Amino acid sequence: MLFRREVLEGIAGGRIDRVFRVWAEPRVRAGSTQRTWAGIIVIDSVTPVTPEEITEQDALRSGFNDRAALLTALSKSTKEGGYHRVMLHLGGPDPGSELADNADLSDRELADLKATLDAIDSRSRRAPWTREILRLIEEHPGLRAQDLAERLNRDKLPFKADVRRLKALGLTQSLETGYRLSPRGKALMTYLRSSTE
């Protein structure tokens, strides 16, 4: 489930505790979680609703000025299905983001990260790719995944899967559009450049 930046900021600030979606079938379920740059979003409940059941309070607590604005936004959806109210809250910081924000790495930790990238590349069925993607993201922060993938003559979905592997190591961070290197990723790239000089 995608969230706009202002919605995530509202959830983090406690102003937003619900969102509305048009779905044929719910895409999330109560008790599930989602990692975002703002932290871990916890889904409390998912309820189908009619337009008549959507209240003024719903609109205000989902980031809209009033009920009419929310209903107008929902009516413009191009998706098939009915309206769903998703109650949610911020469960806490994303452990991965804490890892990503840590740029204070020892030479041993940096060497271990380099070895991890080497191992990923050696197991790859195609040419080594980890540094290539890190350099691309470093040079083009915020560029759409589709555009990044095209620069490497790759399909978007496998490319995004590779970026997720780098994110799991704390090296990249997702933006509303595209990615950027995390502080940890920047520290590693500096180390990699210095080790090849």
Q: What is the DSSP letter of 158?
A: H
CA distances to 144, 156, 162, 189 from 169, in Å = 21, 20, 11, 13
Q: Which of 48, 46, 66 has the alpha carbon at shortest distance from 56?
A: 66
Kindly state whether residues 69 and 139 are assigned to the same domain: no
Kindly state whether residues 87 and 105 are assigned to the same domain: no
Kindly state whether residues 19 and 68 are assigned to the same domain: yes
Kindly state whether residues 167 and 120 are assigned to the same domain: yes
Q: Which of 49, 77, 93 is the last residue of a domain?
A: 93
pLDDT tens digit string along 159-168?
A: 999 998 998 8
Domain residue limits at 12:
5-93
- Please tell me whether the overall predicted TM-score, pTM, comes out greater than 0.75 for this model: no
pLDDT tens digit string along 124-158?
A: 888 899 999 999 999 999 999 999 999 999 999 99
* CATH code, domain carrying 187: 1.10.10.10
pLDDT tens digit string along 64-112?
A: 999 999 999 999 988 889 999 999 999 987 766 777 888 898 999 999 9
Kindly state whether residues 189 and 126 are assigned to the same domain: yes
Rg (CA), the chain: 20
